[in-house]
């Protein structure tokens, strides 16, 4: 199955011109790559339209969503608006949303349902806030609880196979300190086990995120259970993102 590389631009860049330039660059890389992986970028909502206009081979993703349809919800972007914009993937429950905007598992659950209902693919982010001083049991218990609460009732939805889960240990985000591939694999296999106990398929796509770059991408994606990567900082540097895309394409040829 094709791996997926999802770039999360967060609140970057600061101008529409810079966003268009980056999107054009990513699209060019995908066109020049032999058998590229699936590539998607999640720009800030305010740039979605402009970015979409210049991309042909890159899918559009959103960084968040509101679960209601249309109406009086100041500041919120609804699933219907994202769908109308042509968004394919929607990141849900990113640790920055949880930390700065007090997003809860219950809110993630509503968002996942809305996104599945709209036939888009939700990318649920889970991961422990810290590892040092914590037992394996505590870490797995933390992630399990996030999965159980966020995915409640999902097995009743016919679009459940569209769900994607990204394992993002929070301590590994935004620094040079990624998880080890061995530990990431162990957690991702555990996540798959939990998904199966919840009644979901073992084939649900699972990604790794947290300081992924062009030097470590292969070590993660080499493992079959890791279906792709959620890339933050490195997705803003075209040269880095290009290498990530090219190395993933190489891996898929093996
Ligand atoms: P990072 O971000 O690649 O900069 O660590 C990943 C993420 O926040 O999804």
Q: Look-up: residue for tokens 């996942």?
A: 112
Among candidate residues 235, 224, 253, the one with its CA nearest the CA of residue 58:
235
- Ligand 1, from 8, 94, 98, 179: best to mutate by most atoms within 8 Å of Cβ? 8
3-state secondary structure of 119: coil
- 8 CA: nearest ligand 1 atom: 9
Element of type H or E holding 3: none
Radius of gyration of the chain (CA): 17
* Ligand 1 surroundings by CB, under 6 angstroms: 8, 168, 173-174, 209-212, 230-234
Mean pLDDT of all residues belonging to the chain: 97
What residues contact 232, with CB distance under 8 A and at least 6 apart? 7, 8, 10, 173, 174, 209
Q: What is the pLDDT of residue 51?
A: 98
Strand partners, 89: 61, 121
User: pLDDT tier at 253 (50, 70, 90 boundaries)?
Assistant: confident
Q: Look-up: residue for tokens 């349809």?
A: 69
Q: Look-up: residue for tokens 């106990």?
A: 197
Among candidate residues 249, 244, 206, the one with its CA nearest the CA of residue 227:
206
pLDDT tens digits for range 93-117? 999 999 999 999 999 999 999 999 9
CB atoms within 10 A of CB 28: 16
Q: What is the DSSP string of 131-185?
A: -TT--HHHHHHHHHHHHHHHTTTGGGSTTGGG-EEEE--GGGTTSS-PPPHHHHH
Q: What is the DSSP string of 174-239?
A: TSS-PPPHHHHHHHHHHHHHHHHHTT--TTSEEEEESS--TTTHHHHHTSTT--EEEESGGGSSHH
117 is catalytic: no
Expressed in angstroms, the distance from the first to the final Cα of the chain is 13
Residue 235 Cα, ligand 1 centroid: separation in angstroms? 9
pLDDT at 254 over 80: no
Q: Look-up: residue for tokens 């990141």?
A: 91
Q: What is the pLDDT of residue 252?
A: 79
pTM > 0.95: yes or no: yes
């Amino acid at each position: 199955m094709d791996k997926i590389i999802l770039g999360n631009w967060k609140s970057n860049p600061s101008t529409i011109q810079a966003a268009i330039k980056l999107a054009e660059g990513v699209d060019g890389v995908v066109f020049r790559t032999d058998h590229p992986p699936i590539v998607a970028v999640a720009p800030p909502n305010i740039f979605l339209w402009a970015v979409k206009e210049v991309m042909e081979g890159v899918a559009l993703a959103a960084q968040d969503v509101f679960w209601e349809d249309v109406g009086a919800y100041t500041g919120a972007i609804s699933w219907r608006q994202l769908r109308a914009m042509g968004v394919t993937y929607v990141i849900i429950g990113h640790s920055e949303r949880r930390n700065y905007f007090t997003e809860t598992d219950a809110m993630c659950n509503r968002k996942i349902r809305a996104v599945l209902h709209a036939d888009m693919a939700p990318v649920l982010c889970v991961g422990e806030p810290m590892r040092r001083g914590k037992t394996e049991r505590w870490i797995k218990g933390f992630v399990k609880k996030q999965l159980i609460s966020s995915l409640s009732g999902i097995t009743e939805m016919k679009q459940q196979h569209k769900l994607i889960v990204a394992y993002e240990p929070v301590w590994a985000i935004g620094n040079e300190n990624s998880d080890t591939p061995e530990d990431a694999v162990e957690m991702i296999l555990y996540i798959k086990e939990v998904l199966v106990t919840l009644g979901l398929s073992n084939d649900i796509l699972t990604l790794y995120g947290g300081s992924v770059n062009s030097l470590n991408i292969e070590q993660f994606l080499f493992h079959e259970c890791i279906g792709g990567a959620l890339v933050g900082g490195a997705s803003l540097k075209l040269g880095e993102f290009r290498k990530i895309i090219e190395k993933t394409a190489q891996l898929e040829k093996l």
